[in-house]
């Protein structure tokens, strides 16, 4: 009887701990969410009426942290990072001048919690630049929330630090038998041959490294000089020390399967510069381990996980150079 009760008691204990941790925040219901969606439309009308809508648009409203936190996602109306930074800075300047020095971020947040009718500690506003594919550009981010009754800001304008790495392509050894003799020569690989090898190399990532993860190579685009592709639903490839939650440990102890470690996605952009050189850029993103993120559900690894990404890129460079010998 002991061996059955122990894991069950552990599970009950864990659930009680989770409930206690969240007791200071109300959980939003489905009815609440429908209300928030209507209010998001009202928020956009407010943006338009105040001329802020010429620069900012509501993308979505979403629940986070076990449905105890509400997020409002705004987009700057451009796909270009440099333009977005200029538009945002000008908008802040114009708003301050027209409102006797008030801060734009504070007003965006104040109207948000007022219209949603939520406690400030249960909401946050995020501003992004959308990429054409629906994801968010990693070079622009503004976060606004309240903590200890004080407005908090996280502003990252052009924080992208990943530098493309150059990969050297060694000529391959070619052996031919001519007149009974073996003649050894070296041959430079064409861009088509190089890209074929890289794609074959990438497909090795489709071998799962974690439970309930099914990595796929997708979005392959290639020309004579450029190759782009994505590897998604990875696990512990970049974030090598990522761990699953205590809840998953309990589920596993009870004989179930569970994996809520964050999903990883890698976007590769590879240019064939000349016969012996490639330029490779890697953009890393992370998503929920509980559900498959949609396009706008991915968060950029930079700058928070920049060190991890740099280690991966160095390893990728070494592996790729070895593969192309």
Q: What is the per-residue pLDDT for 301?
A: 81
Q: Tell me whether residue 260 is exposed, middle or buried, using C-beta atoms within 10 angstroms of its C-beta: 0 to 12, 13 to 18, 19 or more.
A: middle
Alpha carbons 295 and 305: distance in angstroms, whole number = 20
Residue 49: Cβ within 10 Å count: 9
- Using alpha carbons, list the distances in angstroms from residue 200 to 9, 212, 213, 232, 312: 49, 23, 20, 16, 19
pTM as predicted = 0.56
Indicate the burial class of 157 (C-beta count within 10 angstroms; 0-12, 13-18, 19 or more): middle
Q: What is the CA angle 173-227-139, rounded to 5?
A: 130
Given a contact cutoff of 8 angstroms between Cβ atoms, the answer to whether 256 and 225 are in contact is no
- pLDDT number for residue 2: 44
Whether residue 166 contacts residue 277, with contact meaning beta carbons closer than 8 Å, is answered with yes
Q: Choose among 126, 151, 47, 124: nearest CA to 91.
A: 47
What is the pLDDT tens value at each position of the chain, 325 positions in all? 444 445 555 555 554 554 444 445 789 999 999 999 999 999 999 999 999 999 999 999 999 878 899 999 999 999 888 899 999 999 999 999 999 999 999 999 999 999 999 999 999 999 999 887 777 877 789 999 999 999 999 998 875 655 688 898 888 777 777 777 777 778 888 899 999 999 999 999 999 888 889 999 999 999 999 999 999 999 999 998 888 888 888 888 888 888 888 899 999 999 998 778 899 989 888 888 887 777 666 777 876 788 898 899 999 999 999 888 8
- Per-residue pLDDT tens over the stretch 33-43: 999 999 999 99
- The 10s digit of each residue's pLDDT in 5-62 is 455 555 555 545 544 444 457 899 999 999 999 999 999 999 999 999 999 999 999 9
Q: Output the six-digit token pair for 141.
A: 């981010």
Which of 27, 87, 86, 25 has the alpha carbon at shortest distance from 56? Answer: 87
What residues contact 37, with CB distance under 8 A and at least 6 apart? 61
DSSP three-state, residue 248: helix
Q: What is the DSSP string of 52-102?
A: GGGTEEEEEEEEETTTTEEEEEEEES-S-HHHHHHHHHHHHHHHHHHTTT-
């Amino acid at each position: 009887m002991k061996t059955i009760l122990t894991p069950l008691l552990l599970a009950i204990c864990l659930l009680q701990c989770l409930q206690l941790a969240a007791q200071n925040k109300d959980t939003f219901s489905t009815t609440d969410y429908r209300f928030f969606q209507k209010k998001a439309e009202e928020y956009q009308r407010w943006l338009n009426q105040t001329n802020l809508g010429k620069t900012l648009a509501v993308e979505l409203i979403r629940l986070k942290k076990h449905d105890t936190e509400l997020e409002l996602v705004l987009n700057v109306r451009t796909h270009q990072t440099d333009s977005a930074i200029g538009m945002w800075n000008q908008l802040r300047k114009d708003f301050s001048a027209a409102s006797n020095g008030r801060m734009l971020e504070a007003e965006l947040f104040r109207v948000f919690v007022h219209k949603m009718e939520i406690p400030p500690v249960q909401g946050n506003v995020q501003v992004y630049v959308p990429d054409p594919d629906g994801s968010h550009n990693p070079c622009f981010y503004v976060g606004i929330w309240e903590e200890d009754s004080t407005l908090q800001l996280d502003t990252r304008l052009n924080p992208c630090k990943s530098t493309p790495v150059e990969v050297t392509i060694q000529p391959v050894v070619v052996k031919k038998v001519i007149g009974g003799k073996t003649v050894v020569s070296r041959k430079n690989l064409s861009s088509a041959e190089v890209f074929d090898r890289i794609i074959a190399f990438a497909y090795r990532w489709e071998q799962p490294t974690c439970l309930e993860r099914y990595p796929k190579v997708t979005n392959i685009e290639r020309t004579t000089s450029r190759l782009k592709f994505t590897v998604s639903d990875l696990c512990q490839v970049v974030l090598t020390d990522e761990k699953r939650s205590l809840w998953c440990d309990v589920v596993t102890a009870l004989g179930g399967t569970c994996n809520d470690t964050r999903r990883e996605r890698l976007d590769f952009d590879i240019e064939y510069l000349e016969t012996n050189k490639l330029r490779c850029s890697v953009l890393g993103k992370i998503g929920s381990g509980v559900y498959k993120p949609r396009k706008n559900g991915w968060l950029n690894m930079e700058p928070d996980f920049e060190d991890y990404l740099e280690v991966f890129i160095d390893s990728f460079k070494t592996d790729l150079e070895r593969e192309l010998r």
